[in-house]
Copies of this chain bind each other. A is one copy, B any other.
Amino acid sequence: KPEEIQGVDEIGLVNGLAWTSVGGEMLQVEVAVLDGSGKVELTGSLGDVMKESAMAAISYIRSKWEIYGVEHDFYKTKDLHIHVPEGAVPKDGPSAGVTICTALVSALSGVPVKQEVAMTGEITLRGRVLPIGGLKEKTMAAYRAGIKTVAIPKENEPDLAEIDPIVRDNIKFVPAEKIDTVLETALVKFSKKKPSPALLESLPIEEGQEMPKANSPIPQ
């Protein structure tokens, strides 16, 4: 049962939730940051979609290095190894994106991850958290493993109505629109650094012009 939670908070180890044909599963994403030259190793029988999620997570962190307190040049001075035990079980899909991202931030910044927290959600290149499937099964697996808090995509909030009452009673759910909410929930210590003026210039305009609302649904 590798999916049992660890007794101590560890750096670079994060509880993810998977959904297969036989139900939900907890799986752990492990990240090792090694002195190296920028190579990325992805192991654990990961499918292409999951590997691409990992690449998106890495690029996101590279674009926000100053804010998350990671070395600017890690992409060329460190090798990253992302591994998901159990190695013989094929894994795929984008829903481990936030898990991989959290494990990377933890391993790169040296901040431990709360092992009582689990999470699920796709991550975009800009840190948005996209909805996933199988929330009912995934949260049941988290409950069985002793998880106390689960970060979920904001857009999956309505799905909470369908999960098992015993799960809902024992787990705190944290809906997240952005990865920052997930990191706040999972990392033992989380504080965004204030970017330098130079960096600010290249960031998206935060207080931009508000967009009009979507049109009403088209008549059938």
Contact = CB atoms under 8 A, between A and B. Distances in A.
B88 A13 contact: no
Given A86-B122, A97-B87, A122-B87, A7 B211 contact: yes
Interface residues of A, number: 86
A1 B212 contact: no
Contacts of A110: 201-202
Nearest to A54: B43
Q: Is the interface of A mostly helix, strand, loop or mixed?
A: loop
Interface of A: 1-2, 4-13, 30-32, 34-37, 41, 43-45, 48-49, 52-53, 55-56, 59-60, 62-63, 72-73, 75-76, 79, 81, 83, 85-88, 93-94, 97, 110, 112, 115-116, 122, 124-126, 128, 130-131, 140, 143-146, 148, 155, 164, 166, 170, 201-215, 217-219
Given A35-B72, A49-B87, A94-B88, A8 B59 contact: no
B10 A32 contact: no
A205 B9 contact: yes
Contact of A32 (B60, B86, B164, B166): B60
B2 A124 contact: yes
A193 to B, nearest CB: 17
20 contacts: A5-B214, A7-B210, A8-B207, A9-B209, A10-B126, A32-B63, A34-B59, A43-B52, A45-B49, A49-B88, A59-B79, A59-B83, A62-B79, A75-B79, A86-B130, A115-B211, A116-B211, A116-B212, A140-B218, A145-B214
A217 B144 contact: yes
B41 A55 contact: yes
Contacts of A79: 59, 62, 75
Nearest to A81: B59
Given A34-B62, A52-B83, 5 more contacts: A8-B204, A32-B60, A110-B201, A116-B211, A144-B218
